[in-house]
Structure 1
Amino acid sequence: MTKNTHKVAAIGLGSMGYGIAMSALRGGHSVWGVDINADQMARFVEAGGERGNLADAAGELDTVIVAVLNAAQTEAVLFGEGGIVPKLRAGAAVLSCATVPPAFAKEMAARCAVSGVLYLDAPISGGAVKAANGALSIMAAGSPETFVALAPVLDSIAETVFELGDEVGAGSAMKAVNQLLAGVHIATMAEALTFGMTQGVTPDKFIEVISKCAGTSWMLENRAPHIAAGDYTPHSSVNIWPKDLGIVLDIAKDAQFSAPITAAALQQFVAAAGMGLGAEDDAAVAKVYARNAQLTLPGEET
C-alpha cells in the first residue's frame, strides 16, 4: 500500500515546474524545490516548500519530479555530477516530465532500474495555468508498480493521467504526436491571423469569429489573444519548438515517415529564434509572417 503523503523533490521550477511543485505541496506532500535560479527556490520556500539541502534528504525521498527543458538536462539531473538517482533508496520513483525521444526514456528507465529506482515516462500537457491548478494531462508509461508508487503525487498534480502501458517510451511517443499538432497549430494560427490582416481582418475580429468556427483550435484560442494584446510574456517560449518539433522529425526519420507540414512549422520557429525572439512567447512566431508581409502587429510602433 502506498502512503498518501510523499517526500518529493521537484527539480525544475520554471513556468511549468513551479506550478507542479506548488500543486504537490497543496496535495499535502513535503516538497523540496530545486532550480538553477536561486530566486525561484527562495520563492518556493516562502510558499511552504521544505528548507535545507536536498542532498541531506535524498535518501528519504519517495518521489523525484523532473520538469526540466530537455533530454540533456534530464540526464544531468538524474545521473550527472551530483545526480539524484544514486542517492535515492530502492523503491523511490522518478516522474520524468520533459519532452524527450522514446529511446532516451527507455535508456533512463534502464539506468534507474540498476539502482532499484522506478521510472515513469510521463510527459505533460496543459500549460502553466493547468500546472498551477493541479490539472495537467499526463501521458504516462511504466510498470504497474511505478503507477502505484506515484499515485498520490499524480493525484495532486494531474487532472487526467493516460496510462499508456508498461513499456517506457509510449508516453514520450504520444507526447511527440501532441507536440506535432500543437506546434503546427501555433504556426498555422499565426499564418491565418496575419493573412487575415492583409485582408482587413483585425486580430480581435479574427479571434471573435474564428474561435466560434470550424477552423479554431485550443492553441488558436490560447495564443491568438497574446498577439492581439501585443503581449509576448513567455508562457511557453519560441525556443521550445525547435527542440520539440526537432524531436518529432528525428522520430519520423527513424520511422521513415515523411512529415512535411511539421518541417514547415519548424522552420517558422527557427526563423523566429533567428530574429532574436527565442525567449518570447511562442505566439511571437506571428512576427515572422508580419515582417515578411510588412505588417504592423498590435503593440508595435508604426
Structure 2
Amino acid sequence: MRIGFVGLGAMGVPMAVNLVNAGHDVTAYDLRSAATGPVIDAGGHAATSIAEAAQEAELFWLMVVSGEQAQAVLFDAGAVDELPKGAIVIAGCTQAPAMAADTARRLKERGLKMLDAPVSGGTAGARAAALTIMCSGDAAAQAKAQPAFEAVGKRIFDVGPDAGMGSTAKMINQLLCGVHIAAAAEAMHVAERAGVSLQTMHEIISVSAGNSWMWGDRGPRMMQDEPPVTSAVDIFVKDLGIVLDQGKAMRQGLPLSAAAMQMFLAASGLGHGAADDSQVIRAYRALNGAKKP
C-alpha cells in the first residue's frame, strides 16, 4: 500500500520504518530532513515537502503533535490538494474530539476519508510494533487500513463510526497517564524528603498494591538528573488541557486531572517544559523548597 507519512518524531520514525518493513511503499516527510534517514535506510522514500508526501497516497498518516498541526499539514501546506479522491487520512495525534470531528468533516467535503486513530505505547511500543491503536471512523476505511495498523500495532480497537470517538478514548488514557505520573512523582518526592532509599522504595512499590505502569516506567527516570526525553512535560500540559476543556464542555468536575495539570504547569513554568515528563517531580521539589538529594 502506498503511504504518505508526516511526523518523524520519537514514535513516528520507528512507525514509518515498521511500515516499510511490512512491505508498504512509504514516502515520509519531516521538517527535520535528517529524520528521514532511518526510513530511507529501511527502503522507504523521503519527500521534500508535505505536498509531495501526499501525492498518490492511499493512506496519509499524520503523527504530528496536535490537531492544530494536523489541520495545518492538510489544509495550509496543501496536502488535501495532492491526495487522490478516496484517500484515507489517519490522524494519529492526540487532539480534542471536537477538532477530530471538524477535520473529518472538512476532509469529507474534499472527497477524502479520515480515521481518528491516536496511539499509545510510547517509543518502546513504536519500536516493537506493539502500539495500542484507538480508531474510529468509516468501517470500510478501517478495513482498508488494517494491514497498515497491524504493521505498527499489537492491539487495534474499533472505538466507533464517528471521528472524535478515537480521540475521546485517547483523552481518557491521557487523563490516567497524567494523574499517575503526578502521583508517582508525589510519592517519590515524599520518599526522598524522608530519606528513604529511592531505589529501595521503587522496588517495594513495584511489588506492592500501590504499583502502576507509570510508577514502573517513570519512577527510575525520576531518580535521574537528566533522563532521556520520551514524552515532555509540555505534552501533558497540552493533553491535560484537552481533558479539562472536555470536562468543562460536558460540565463534569475533574479534580484529579486539575491537580495533575497544576503540577505539570508548574514544572513548565520553572523552565522544564522540554524535559522528560517524569521531571514533574521538580515542581514538587520547588513547591516544598527542596533539592534533589
TM over 0.5: yes
Which segments of 5 or more consecutive residues in structure 1 lack a partner in the other structure?
1-5
CA distance in 1, matches of 2:115, 2:242: 19
Q: 2:234 aligns with which of 239, 243, 249?
A: 239
Instruction: Report the 3-state secondary structure (helix = DSSP H, G, I; strand = E; otherwise coil) of the residue aligned with 1:160.
Output: strand
Match of 2:134 in 1: 139
Aligned-residue Cα RMSD (Å) equals 1.5
1:122–1:140 contact (8 Å) kept in structure 2: yes
Instruction: Report the 3-state secondary structure (helix = DSSP H, G, I; strand = E; otherwise coil) of the residue aligned with 1:18.
Output: helix
Q: CA deviation at 1:52?
A: 5.0
Q: 1:91 aligns with which of 86, 94, 98?
A: 86
* More displaced 10-residue stretch of structure 1: 133-142 or 110-119: 110-119
Q: CA deviation at 1:53?
A: 4.3
TM-score normalised per structure 2:
0.95
Match of 1:3 in 2: none
Which residue identity is paired with 1:68?
V
Q: CA deviation at 1:102?
A: 0.9
Q: CA deviation at 1:45?
A: 2.0
Match of 1:193 in 2: 188
* More displaced 10-residue stretch of structure 1: 224-233 or 208-217: 224-233
Instruction: Report the 3-state secondary structure (helix = DSSP H, G, I; strand = E; otherwise coil) of the residue aligned with 2:133.
Output: strand
Q: Residues 292, 133 of structure 1: CA spacing in aligned structure 2 closer, same or farther, 3 A cutoff?
A: same
Question: What CA deviation, in whole Å up to 9, does each residue of 1:247-290 have, x standing for no partner?
Answer: 00000000000011111110111111111111110001111112
Question: What CA deviation, in whole Å up to 9, does each residue of 1:58-95 have, x standing for no partner?
Answer: 33211111011111101001111x33122111221111
Q: 1:7 aligns with which of 2, 6, 9?
A: 2
Question: What CA deviation, in whole Å up to 9, does each residue of 1:191-230 have, x standing for no partner?
Answer: 0011112222222112101011111111110011112233
Instruction: Report the 3-state secondary structure (helix = DSSP H, G, I; strand = E; otherwise coil) of the residue aligned with 2:137.
Output: coil
Which segments of 5 or more consecutive residues in structure 2 lack a partner in the other structure?
none
TM-score normalised per structure 1:
0.92
Q: Percent identity?
A: 37
Match of 1:29 in 2: 24
1:242–1:269 contact (8 Å) kept in structure 2: yes
2:116–2:136 contact (8 Å) kept in structure 1: yes
Q: CA deviation at 1:19?
A: 1.8
Match of 1:184 in 2: 179
Match of 1:102 in 2: 97
Instruction: Report the 3-state secondary structure (helix = DSSP H, G, I; strand = E; otherwise coil) of the residue aligned with 1:280.
Output: coil
CA distance in 2, matches of 1:14, 1:57: 16
